[in-house]
Structure 1
């Protein structure tokens, strides 16, 4: 079924590329599925991004989102106990950052252009709450490192393959730790070290099923969820006590 959807979509892209030159977009792209459903036992998913260009060129893909606030804490040992001694907050931090390119980035765009389009982990604009903090570099590195360890920031770009001189595709691996929300896949067409076209398509990651109902209830009615969790734990302990007494 996925292969049929891909062939159908590629056919549409090819037909779109056959329009008159004055009406032709330099770049068209899409995903084989715009919704990833997280269910019990979710172990990650593969998303196929494909597209067509109006002629020869290279392609770069940046997938990121949703953004939010993140606090980075530094622990220090005091009296034999590790405690949080300092915290620095960051704003507009993407929950996930993925990258793909048809060639190494330094061969496609100069450093200032990569920074402008936030291509590469080192170019993500992590906005600190206090930009004058003396330990800003340390906290920024710790934030990026934590994201990488969780598999949410990808430091190695995936390889974009050209099926012909105009059709391209790339498989993007969505990790099992991915949070829910709306993501944006930004696709850039590059020629002669300049971005000459761009296209954006959304990707929604959402929980479904019984697990999603529990998640939603826990966030909407946190106090009631806490009481229910305690009652369930007490009941489970009581049942276990009865089982051991019978022995």
Structure 2
């Protein structure tokens, strides 16, 4: 009876005027021993129940977020000629990877109140509620700057191509230093900076082959992994020494 009542409620709800239909160039990313990064093509269309509105501007925002994790950010100062850690802030949760691509400048496709509600820009997805150090926001900015330099945080304004306000596509580059886990692809459709629809899908990022075997061995049998690493180092050293001796003759 409850299920039937819920079905009647869903049928009674009005259909969305504009709705996202999404596609991905790949549904998973494999990290191998020779992994040097990858590109994900995000593309889709906008399904409509009515003609395209003329009085407002369409915006498309695509985000790809890696697993969140706590991070300790430290500040260094020079004391008596030596650089030492002085202050530190523990960020409660920061994405290991985050890319946000837009169809126009961010200020044109997203209002600040919508960013506060949905948490779309990079500062909004980093949570640091327990920081008690003075000027703790500077630690968050430093984390963003460092990870942006490593291509782990990306802001790609104007990187989403929209054709006839119906088709859209963009490419997100994943660097080689990815963290394994579930990556969330989130697409927002906006009108005059307000979110009118959203779509979420997930992309598994996993180590495979030799990389997976070594990872499992290191975590499940650290002693055997250490012995194997030592044996490889000994053999490599002996081989290099033998080769050098032959070259000297």
Q: 1:229 and 2:229 equivalent?
A: yes
Which one has the largest radius of gyration? Answer: 2
SS at match of 2:96: strand
- Aligned in 2, Cα 1:83/1:220: closer, same or farther, shift over 3 Å? farther
CA-CA distance at 1:47 after TM superposition: 1.0
RMSD over aligned CA atoms reads: 2.5
Instruction: Look up the match of 1:97.
Output: 98
For each residue in 1:37-60, what CA deviation from the matched residue of structure 2 results, as whole angstroms up to 9, or x when unmatched?
Answer: 122322221111111213443211
Taking structure 1 as the reference length, the TM-score comes to 0.80
SS at match of 2:172: strand
What is the total number of aligned residue pairs between the two structures?
226
Instruction: Look up the match of 2:115.
Output: 114
| Distance (Å, rounded) in 1 between the aligned partners of 2:220 and 2:229 | 15
Taking structure 2 as the reference length, the TM-score comes to 0.79
Question: Map of 1:159-238 to 2, 5 A cutoff?
Answer: 159-238=159-238
Contact persistence 1:31–1:201 (CA under 8 A): no
CA-CA distance at 1:75 after TM superposition: 2.9
| Distance (Å, rounded) in 1 between the aligned partners of 2:158 and 2:177 | 19
CA-CA distance at 1:124 after TM superposition: 2.6
Instruction: Look up the match of 1:36.
Output: 29
SS at match of 1:131: coil
Instruction: Look up the match of 1:9.
Output: none
CA-CA distance at 1:168 after TM superposition: 1.5
Mean Cα deviation higher: 53-62 or 198-207: 53-62
- Aligned in 2, Cα 1:165/1:74: closer, same or farther, shift over 3 Å? closer
For each residue in 1:164-201, what CA deviation from the matched residue of structure 2 results, as whole angstroms up to 9, or x when unmatched?
Answer: 43221111111222222111111111123321111101
Mean Cα deviation higher: 222-231 or 200-209: 222-231
SS at match of 1:41: coil
Q: 1:151 and 2:151 equivalent?
A: yes
Question: Map of 1:6-85 to 2, 5 A cutoff?
Answer: 22=15, 26-55=19-48, 56=52, 57-85=58-86
CA-CA distance at 1:61 after TM superposition: 1.2
Runs of at least 5 residues in structure 2 that lack an aligned partner in the other structure: 1-13, 53-57
- Aligned in 2, Cα 1:87/1:228: closer, same or farther, shift over 3 Å? farther
CA-CA distance at 1:29 after TM superposition: 1.2
- Aligned in 2, Cα 1:193/1:25: closer, same or farther, shift over 3 Å? closer
